[in-house]
Amino acid sequence: MFRRLMIAPALAVLALLPAVPALAQDGPLRIEITDGVIEPMSIAIPAFHGDAEIAARVRQVVADNLTGTGLFREIAPEAHPARQASFTEAVSYEDWRAVNAQALVSAEVRQMGDSISVRFRLFDIVSGQPQGDGMQLDARAADWRRAAHKIADQIYVRLTGERPYFDSRIAFVQETGPKSARIKRIGVMDYDGANILWMTDSSSLVLAPKFSPDGRRLLFTSYGSGFPQIQIMDVATVSARPLTTDPNAMAFAPTFSPDGRWVAYSREQGGNTDIWLMDVATGTQRALTNSPAIDTSPGFSPDGRRIVFESDRSGTPQLYIMGLDGGEPTRISFGEGRYGTPAWSPKGDLIAFTKQIGDRFHIATMRTDGSGERMLTESFLDEGPTWAPNGRVVMFTRVTPGGTGQPRLHSVDITGRNMRPMNLDFAASDPSWGPLLP
């Protein structure tokens, strides 16, 4: 666990840096993220000062985080001008302009026993001035990756104006063995695939983990009893307990409300599936839907007042929205094909979902009124989108065709750009993106 991570206010030494006249510019350097073509910002991330080994590792994670967004293009080290003699030496803006750098990251990493201290600054090369205050982070040496993610998050916020997402975790299902006898277990990892922790063993089938809003608990569907039921797990202690136990009803596809108090899930009994709501503390339950159709895959709105879900009440699977106080659901999907596994954006403006047209699957988004449908992906089988904490990136499962086909995790920007596979050396599915870590 991350025992100590302190972000100090602006370093006193930064105030001693010589003043540099700003060039004409209307505001701070800012990358424009639009729906159109985006030209990546050129950013220089020279070797960090300080203790060489740990400094190099922190620098690489920062560079990978930023360039992995597709919004930044790192200037090759061999093109860099002469290196600063120290972290506090003044920046030669002219030298960096000569290699077409728009932004520069300068940092120093020092290790003291089992602790590290990271100082960093961001410079607007175009205007010739620092971009915001310098900052210092102190952490356990074992948590150097989190320190790197925190730095990258700060840079991302300053250069995009959007909320960050690098210092977050993802729950997933690892899959091994043949399709006819697949073995599955739940893991939790950093957003970039590092620091994997296993939450369950391979003794029983588990599906669809979902993080709580504070990232401290996980919901998942377990076949440990031979019948699908929902369990809730404390992530820190890796201890789980059953949340549903009715032997006459299957319970699956659970998700937390934004305040963590409620769990919405699918309950099948007698051939009929409806959406149910449970108070986690008391176990009190009630049905949200009451229809002969298959109602499943609930997802809460960010304010917790509504849910979006999948239902075939119109004849084919479509998406519906309804309030938690009941009432008639409103259908929001009317396009060609079948709609499923909806997930409400943290910003509240979009719903991501799986769409099947013929034998092709897509990850797509639409506004909450059903307008503005946009396809982000297309493949043999894409499914199960989950949102990054900032609502700009979606992660999903892509399955390759054939008898040896395997599921893999991929991410894509909401504009449909920058689709990337996760760097994992095993098959994985069912991602659930947790919140930013404190």
Tell me if 41-160 shares its fold with 169-436.
no
Helices (H), 161-259: none
pLDDT score of 130: 95
Find all residues with CB under 8 Å of 57, minimum gap 6, and list them.
Answer: 144, 148
- Right CATH for 41-160 from 3.40.50.10070, 3.20.20.210, 3.40.50.300, 3.20.19.10: 3.40.50.10070
Model confidence at 178, in pLDDT bands (50, 70, 90)? confident
- At 184-242, the pLDDT tens digits run 999 999 999 999 999 999 888 999 999 999 999 999 999 998 899 999 999 999 999 99
Question: Do residues 219 and 256 touch, judged by C-beta distance below 8 A?
Answer: yes
- Among 13-22, 99-108, 286-295, 376-385, the minimum mean pLDDT is found in 13-22
E-state strands within 113-256: 115-124, 129-130, 135-140, 168-176, 183-190, 197-198, 206-211, 217-222, 229-234, 239-242, 250-256
Q: What average pLDDT does the segment 342-358 reach? A: 97
Model confidence at 83, in pLDDT bands (50, 70, 90)? confident
- At 140-171, the pLDDT tens digits run 999 999 999 999 999 999 999 999 999 999 99
Beta-bridge mates of residue 174? 185, 428
Model confidence at 62, in pLDDT bands (50, 70, 90)? very high
pLDDT score of 330: 97
pLDDT score of 424: 96
Model confidence at 181, in pLDDT bands (50, 70, 90)? confident
Query: How far apart, in whole angstroms, are the C-alpha atoms of residue 349 and residue 372?
Result: 11
* Domain parsing of the chain, residue ranges: 41-160, 169-436
Q: What is the DSSP string of 79-116?
A: G--SPPSSTTSPP-HHHHHTTT-SEEEEEEEEEETTEE
CATH superfamily entry for domain 169-436:
TolB, C-terminal domain (2.120.10.30)
| pLDDT beyond 50 at 5 | no
Q: In degrees to the nearest 10, what's the CA dihedral of 182, 235, 163, 126?
A: -80
pLDDT score of 166: 98
pLDDT score of 282: 96
